[in-house]
Structures are given as C-alpha cells and as structure tokens.
Amino acid sequence: MGMDMVTKGVHNVIEFLTDDSPDMDVIGISVIRREIGNKVLKTSVSGLVELNILKNLTVYVVSGSLGRFKSHASNIVFDLFIATCQDPAQNMESSQIDGSH
C-alpha cells in the first residue's frame, strides 16, 4: 500500500529539515472534507466534534485518568483506518502524538 514508503520519505524530510533549519517549528494540519466524512466515515462534522469531546475531554476528566487526554489516540486512529479501509497495522506509528501542546 505504500505506507512504509510514506513513513520513510517523511522521516527523511524531517531529518533534512532538522539538519538544515534546527530552529524551525513544524505544525501538521490535516483536513477531512465534509463530503468524505458523510460518505466514507458515515458521520458529520458535529458528530466527530462530539466524539472528540466525549472521548478526549469529558471521560478522562471525570475518571481522573492520566495521559493528558491522549490515552485513546490509538483507538481513534485505528477506527479511522478500519473505516477508510486502510492498514490498521500502521496504527502504532500514526498514533504517536504529543499531548503536551
């Protein structure tokens, strides 16, 4: 599927940028168009926002969970991979997030 190639390519680009511009900050932004959300994910933007609030804010605050609201990032990424017919084995690399910002 080319997922390894994308991972290796991005790794090389990040190494280059780190060496070339050590003071550079990089922000990753991804967008899922409304039509794709409705057709492929079978949900709405408001549904995704509600899911995010419930899974990443409310539940962890109530339970006193550690992990700065990122405990289930892996589950969310895994579910998106399954919903879009992607390789769920790529979940490990894709769900490595930093919730400190």
Separation CA 101–CA 76 (nearest Å): 19
Domain that holds residue 53: 29-94
Mean pLDDT, rounded, for 40-47: 89
Q: Tell me what pLDDT residue 70 has.
A: 52
Residue 101 reports pLDDT greater than 50: no
66 occurs within a structural domain: yes
User: pLDDT tens-digit profile of 22-37?
Assistant: 898 877 788 888 998 8
What would the two tokens of residue 11 be? Answer: 């790794």
10 occurs within a structural domain: no
78 occurs within a structural domain: yes
Q: Which long-range contacts (CB under 8 A, 24 or more apart) does 87-90 make?
A: 87/1, 87/3, 90/3, 90/7
- Structural domain count of the chain: 1
User: pLDDT tens-digit profile of 48-95?
Assistant: 888 888 877 776 666 555 445 555 667 777 777 888 888 878 777 766
54 occurs within a structural domain: yes
